[in-house]
Amino acid sequence: MKIKIPLKLREMINLRDEREEVSMKVEVERCGVLIGEKRGKDVIVREVVEFENEARSPFFFEIKPETLYDAWLRAKRNGMEVVAIFHTHPTGIGKISSRDVESLKNTGIPWVIVGMDGIKAYLYDEGVKEIDVEFLGEDF
Ligand SMILES: [Zn+2]
């Protein structure tokens, strides 16, 4: 499995813009869902929907179940799916935390984690597996 993210959407979930390249300012974790379509074993992301982090913490996030459900319904209506949940690690790298693993197990879809070192993706399938993230050019 591979998660394919158009470059313009990568900019939406990226932690740092050019001005913040070297800053390590602590901020609340950002979170949301990636909506898209399945193509064989891969998924192509078409839309980024960001939510409030209900926990307002720099170290973890919470999304209301009804918010997730609404996103899922909206995606279905547009012939797409919620293909991944994303969140940022504003204080660290994109490695999945033990707390993340517990939640990952329960969601059944990949998690994309945006860390200071880039964007990583994970899936729970008899254990945590890192999956490939590929960035697509402008024509996608
Ligand atoms: Zn995390």
- What secondary structure letter does DSSP report for 18? G
Report how far ligand 1's centroid is from the alpha carbon of 96 (Å). 6
**Beta pairing, strands 81-88 & 42-51:** unpaired
61 CA → ligand 1 middle, Å: 7
Distance 139 CA to ligand 1 centre (A): 31
* pTM of the predicted structure, to 2 decimals: 0.90
**Mean pLDDT, residues 104-129 taken together:** 94
Judge whether residue 25 has pLDDT over 90: no
Distance 60 CA to ligand 1 centre (A): 6
Residue 79 is predicted with a pLDDT of 96
Domains and CATH numbers, the chain: 2-15+26-136 (3.40.140.10)
In angstroms, what is the span from residue 90 Cα to ligand 1's centroid?
9
The Cβ-side half-sphere exposure at 54, using a 13 Å CA radius, reads 7
CA of 18 to the centre of ligand 1 (A): 23
> Which one is predicted more confidently, 16 or 3?
3
CA of 89 to the centre of ligand 1 (A): 6
Give the Å distance between the CA of 113 and the centre of ligand 1. 7
Give mean pLDDT, residues 90-109: 93
Centre of ligand 1 to C-alpha 70, Å, is 22
Can you give the pLDDT at residue 22?
46
CB burial of 73-103 (b: ≥16 within 10 Å; e: otherwise) equals eebeeeebbbbbbbbbbbeeebebeeebeeb
